[in-house]
Amino acid sequence: MTDILLKQLEGKKILLLGFGREGQSCYRFIRRYFPQAEIGIADQNTNIPSTMAPDIRLRFHLGDTYLDAIRQYDMVIKSPGVSLKNILTDIDTDIITSQTDLFLQAFHAQCIGVTGTKGKSTTSSLIYHILHQLDNNTVYGGNIGLPLFELIDKINPDTHIVLELSSHQLEFLHQSPHIGILLNLFEEHLDHYNSFKDYQRAKYNIALHQNADDYFIYHHDDVLIQALIREQPVISHSVPFAGHADNNAFSYYDRRQLFLNINGKFLPVKNITDTFPLKGTHNYTNAAAAIAALACLNAHTDWERVSCLADSFSPLRHRMEYVGTYNGILFYNDSISTIPQATIAAVKALGNVDTLILGGMDRGIDYSPLAEYISHADVRNFIFTGMAGKRMMQMFENRHIQHLHFCNTYSEIITLAMQLTQKGKICLLSPAASSYDSFKNFEQRGDHYKELIQNFAAR
């Protein structure tokens, strides 16, 4: 399969657009097989040359005008973080590809790809966890794991490949995974796209470039997904899942059980007991997507064993992560929640939330669903931060929600949370906003939150 990938690159004058983790991975791969290829690196960062070994076949296009280099190359391998929204009408988008696109063109038949505004990390990790226990010849990469080119040496023709895929990775795609999963669609990354519709179309690429013998697993209850399917039907097998009993679905969650359509009859394949490590109806619905993927991969799956393996799954960091109990207060870290729907799901799943920490970078997301939910919820205290926090706080004030506080730093937030939160109840960081105003990413934000709590408790 690597031959397919090498053929795509052979003889091309290649621009690496963005030189972060994926761009560096692409450079190493191309140089490994094509030491004489003409390569360009385009990035806003002007310090890149100082980090590179001498390479006479390498050109740099750095600084604010780095996007101008696109027109000088045969192939542009775009990194996920680079937005082309302002120049899409001025360039030949046929030459734009990505590491994800090239990887899928070579290995698509072995890939299970998972995307969605929320839940893709947990769902893809759950699928990988179960598959890896069933068959050690399984690898995991993409948005949460290693750059995909780093997996190639571990892959043989029988390897299962599980991928978490962001909208940025799917944006310029020519080949979709064999099994593509679209969990949901909500407003997100509006700074990267010209419209919310463009974001939805990028996500929908998980299915648009499948073959007739591939599988598209999607949330049957999501009206935005349903609208995309009506506008542009897929040619692959449609496999709907749902969060309630639904005879039109292939799998669904209902009454603390996961059901699967086996030979035309819905049978329970897993009980959701207290030993199941994921909490909340949204996670149980995502688990229905996971079992659908396993069934598409192998119709003769041992579901009793799958159920046991699911119970041994370890939840991911920064996703409703229990930090500890200090001064009688239960602290949870849900830093990954960057949209209001994720925060609503976390509050519902955990219950007993007394203090909710909100805010961060403002990307223009509609926070009215969160304000509407909170106006009827039992949460008592709200601590806001960042520009998104200011806008949320104003919306909450307009709905006459009380006990609103604003802090500029997380040190202030933790000090105030320790004072406000009732003992025996939860203080939850679930910001409903991006972290990029003050942190490198949501992981750094969550780690900072946890460190401050532990330091405060150690006094």
| Whether 125 and 262 share a structural domain | yes
Q: Please indicate, yes or no, whether residues 42 and 183 belong to a single structural domain of this protein.
A: no
Give the three-class secondary structure for 104. Answer: helix
Pair 37, 137 in one domain: no
| CATH number of the CATH domain containing 445 | 3.90.190.20
- Whole-angstrom CA distances from 418 to 331, 363, 393 are 10, 29, 20
The residue whose two tokens read 């926070």 is 367
Domain boundary among 49, 70, 97: 97
Confirm whether 130 is domain-assigned: yes
Same domain assignment for residues 22 and 120: no
Q: Could you tell me how far CA 317 lies from the centroid of its own chain?
A: 13
Of the residues 97, 132, 147, which one is the last residue of a structural domain?
97
Query: Residue 128: what pLDDT?
Result: 96
Residue 171 lies in a domain: yes
Same domain for 41 and 107?
Answer: no
> Do 339 and 259 lie in a common domain?
no
With tokens 């600084």, the residue in question is: 63
Residue 3 vs residues 8, 10, 105, 112: alpha-carbon distances, Å? 9, 10, 11, 21
| Residues 227 and 282 placed together within one structural domain of the fold | yes
Q: Which domain holds residue 342?
A: 321-457
In this structure, the answer to whether residues 180 and 242 fall within a common structural domain is yes
* pLDDT by residue, tens only, the chain of 459 residues: 688 999 999 999 999 999 999 999 999 999 999 999 999 999 999 999 988 889 999 999 999 999 999 999 999 999 998 999 889 888 999 999 999 999 999 999 999 999 999 999 999 999 999 999 999 999 999 987 689 999 999 999 999 999 999 999 999 999 999 999 999 999 877 788 889 999 999 999 999 999 999 999 999 999 999 999 999 999 999 999 999 999 999 999 999 999 999 999 999 999 998 889 998 899 999 999 999 999 999 878 899 999 999 999 988 889 999 999 999 999 999 999 999 999 999 999 999 999 999 999 999 999 999 999 999 999 999 999 999 999 999 999 999 999 999 999 999 999 999 999 999 999 999 999 999 999 999 999 999 999 999 998 776
pLDDT for res 6: 93
Are 336 and 293 in a shared domain? no
CATH number, domain at 60? 3.40.50.720
46 and 130 in a single domain? The answer is no
Count of structural domains, the chain: 3
